[in-house]
Amino acid sequence: MSTDRGFTVTRRFDAPRELVFQAWTDPDHLQWFAGVPRDPAHPTTVDLRVGGAWRVHLVEDEGRGRAYWTGGLYREISAPEKLVFTWGAVGGWPELDVEDLDGLPVATIQLNEVDGGTEMVAHFGFAGSLSDQRVAEWLAMGVRGGWTDTLARIDAAVLALVG
């Protein structure tokens, strides 16, 4: 059985890549990922180092109260051009098991300088050790649409930083 092992979303910003990187790494600006206003009871946190984690409290459906922590565990940081992280959160969704990082998707955020702005190439992929069936299950959950919708929200955060 062969399946798509990931997907890529590309966005363009009229902003320097340092500001786009900041939108991804500064807890004061990363709230865009959650798509809701900051909530002091659920602060966004960032431990910007390899092995460190970022967490946001995501409210998926306010009417039905579906909310959870999500985030990532940094695998590579090369400021201001690249972030690689395993997607998930300890005690959140997807549940991050630090002993089994290959069981979860990996996001690679590449920020390229282009024509006075920044091109963000966000790749969401799955480890080769994950079975095609498990990858198909992840994709059937709607992660492609969810990540595409989430990445569309970064525009407002970058605009706020450009001021």
Give, for all 163 residues of the chain, the pLDDT tens digit.
344 789 999 999 999 999 999 999 999 999 999 888 888 899 999 999 999 999 999 887 666 667 889 999 999 999 999 999 999 998 888 898 888 888 899 999 999 999 999 999 999 999 888 888 989 998 898 999 989 999 999 998 898 888 8
**Predicted TM-score of the model (pTM):** 0.92
Instruction: Classify residue 53 by its DSSP letter.
Output: E
CA–CA distance, 48 with 50 (Å, rounded to integer): 7
Instruction: Set out the domains of the chain in order of their start, with CATH numbers.
Output: 6-162 (3.30.530.20)
CA atoms lying within 13 Å on the CB side of residue 74: 19
Residues 6 or more apart whose Cβ sits within 8 Å of residue 77: 48, 49, 50, 83, 84
